[in-house]
Amino acid sequence: MDNKQISLDKMIKGGLILTISSFIVKLLSAIYKVPFQNLTGDTGFYVYQQVYPLYGLAVAFTLQGLPTFISKVVSEADGDRQLQQKMREINTWLFIIGVSLFGLLWGGSNWIAHLMGDNQLAPAIKSVSIFYLFLPFLALIRGYFQGKADMLPTSISQIVEQIVRVAVLLGAALHFANQSVSVYQMGANAYQSAWLSALAATFILGLYLERNKALGEYAQILKPQAASVEMGKRLISEGGLLIATSSIMILFQFIDSFTVYNGLVHSGFTEEMAMSLKGVYDRGQPLVQLGLVIGLGFSTTSLPLLRRQVIDERWNEWTESAASLLKITMILGGAATVGLVAVMPWMNFTLFTDFSGTDTLQIFMLSVFFASLIYCLHTILQSTGKADNSFMILLVGLAFKMLTNQLTVKAMGINGSSLVTVLSLILITILMMQLIRKEVWQTVLTNHFFLKLISILIGLYGLVRGSMNLIANTLGLEGRFSSFVLIIVGALIGVVFFIITALSIKLLNEEELKQIPFLSKLMDKTKRK
């Protein structure tokens, strides 16, 4: 298919497919961490989460950052011959990157563990490092098909990857609960899931190539090709920026791994208590990732369309598309953030058996809105080829987090780390907003969009929190199951209120509503009545 013929409709369908599969993956990720934490305790969760950023970065390489960059290269290619050459060059660089990162993590595992303040984490770090050997194949094939607006290979492979990973992780947790193995041995066993899940995803993508009779084409890509300096620069600058942007929360978590535990110990907590508190703090990570999935899915799949509009110099269409993406991201990100903050006391108890760190988690949930907006802003900048400045902005935010995190943890405990994360994201968001064309913001500001959004979000929080408190107090609900039911009721109340109010005050225009299929169908039914 000619890349120029990729339609808005196909991009929307692709975005929906990737969003649904990403939601399934994040849901599995959130669900498995509940029994995992329940089986291993906050200390076991600490061991797992300390090493998790190294795995999370590998996922960003193979699922989000590099495939998105490669999809952009595919959309730019003029003909199959040029496309094949570019794929060969990218494959060479991916091989170099994957092997180098594997060697760094495997050989430097003791040093990395020492910097984290816990030398016994080294075996788990080695287990994660093997995943990076699968990086070239996973990133290249996913990016190639995404550039053709075919999201099924990415979607199916990531679901299978997550299922295998969850099965191995829970197996390691059960083994720990039933046998006399140390919490660190459990961590090393759990992270065997990294390379086993990558192997499963590789198998699925191979089957997809076979079904589409594309194995021969992939074999051509594997032929030796000199590592183009120009492509290497693009991969590092554009691909690296996409990785940094798509994994900003993982990078913050990476900083947490080196500063939160150490900060707690230096402030006077015992090592055991510091491990437990770090485990409590890390409860927020899967919840934030779950909240980000919809906004990230739309941003990721919008890049090829926005890029093609720029190449074809269809600036009016690009302005409308960019403004619509911003509005949808702010709506979905804002609703997810407010909803998570409102239900957090009951969610914390339901998932983790107690209310420890509820205030910490509520602060942390504010990350969902700002991180979603950062992903969106970067996608818009990337489409114009002017995202270089955003890399420096990300570095500023990371530097702020790195310089202030341990000091704030010493002063405020784990609340301090949550607050610094949110402040860092706000700083990045404000700076990135300055880089967006004024025509886009003028389009966003029409029809009193911000005033309407803020009003509906305030109403959403008040209704959900108030109704849940009223139901809980009236019925005297206790126990995890009752809290779970209460969360479902609160979520339904919030969704119904949000949809009806958004439609009634025309938060989005009809063209924008078509990009959210469920709202579009509801609007059509309302019109028929």
Contact 301, 151 (CB under 8 A): yes
Q: Report the length, in residues, of the chain.
A: 529
Round to whole Å and give the CA distance between 459 and 457.
5
Round to whole Å and give the CA distance between 188 and 208.
31
Digit-by-digit pLDDT tens for the chain (529 residues) are: 444 445 555 555 666 676 677 777 777 776 787 788 888 888 888 899 999 999 988 888 887 778 878 887 877 767 667 777 788 888 888 899 999 999 999 999 999 999 998 899 999 999 999 999 999 889 888 888 887 777 788 888 889 999 999 999 999 999 888 877 888 999 999 999 999 999 999 999 888 888 776 666 666 666 656 667 888 888 887 787 778 777 788 899 999 999 999 999 988 888 889 998 998 898 888 788 777 776 666 676 677 677 777 777 778 878 888 888 888 889 888 998 999 999 999 988 888 878 888 999 999 999 999 988 988 888 888 788 776 777 788 889 999 999 999 999 999 999 999 999 999 999 999 999 988 888 888 888 888 888 989 999 999 999 999 998 888 888 776 777 888 889 999 999 998 998 888 888 877 766 666 666 555 555 555 555 5
Q: How many CB atoms lie within 10 A of CB 478?
A: 10
Residue matched to tokens 């660190």: 184
Round to whole Å and give the CA distance between 122 and 117.
11
**HEC-encoded secondary structure of 380-428:** HHHHCCCCHHHHHHHHHHHHHHHHHHHHHHHHHCHHHHHHHHHHHHHHH
- Of 363, 383, 341, nearest to 425 by C-alpha is 363
Supply the DSSP symbol for 191. Answer: T
| pTM for this predicted structure | 0.80
